[in-house]
Homo-oligomer: A and B are copies of this chain.
């Protein structure tokens, strides 16, 4: 009668979709490796969409990515959950209707966890528009400043010292505007592993979107039962 854990697997297979085209396996697998280190019960396989070496960074690049993400996801077999490792949560809603496994977006996961750490949010990403899940979950009125980092056009621009410096400046600006917590809004920020550095420099919590999507994916794996 008392509470126990039924039907739990020792390990869950998770698919992870990168919305940037990588030819380098190390980069392709980086988010999956972060998740596997933090959540050893997850085994992550990563795949990326074709023909988008600069990823998703505006409405047009998101629009053309969505059918590619759906295509990749539909053909994937033997996974317990699917992560779309992008803060814009592209194709997440569509895939939830199509698949019978949990689908997890980086954006919705990051925004949800951010609510634990404060009530004024500095959403820091690479797009002009704040990704939808952040507005819905955090509330537009609770978000200070703009999302976009001047001089950063795509996730690739983050991958050098100058890009890193620009992100730091932006984080400090959001802090000065009153942000109590910084939910990162581009998984490229996880690629460059900048969350803890920002946290130290700003003195407020910074939510890493890849750790967030990993946490929520793990939760979905352990709580989910097929009908």
Contact = CB atoms under 8 A, between A and B. Distances in A.
**Copies held by the complex:** 2
A218 B211 CA distance: 11
Contact of A115 (B137, B193, B222): B137
Contacts of A210: 3
Nearest to A113: B219
Interface residues of A, dominant DSSP? helix
A2 interface: yes
A191 B3 contact: yes
A200 to B, nearest CB: 8
A89 interface: no
Interface residues of A, number: 39
A116 B216 CA distance: 10
Contacts of A164: 1
Interface in A171-227: 190-194, 196, 199, 205, 208, 210-211, 215-216, 218-219, 222-223, 225
Interface of A: 1-6, 8, 30, 34, 37-38, 40-41, 108, 112-113, 115-116, 137, 159, 164, 190-194, 196, 199, 205, 208, 210-211, 215-216, 218-219, 222-223, 225
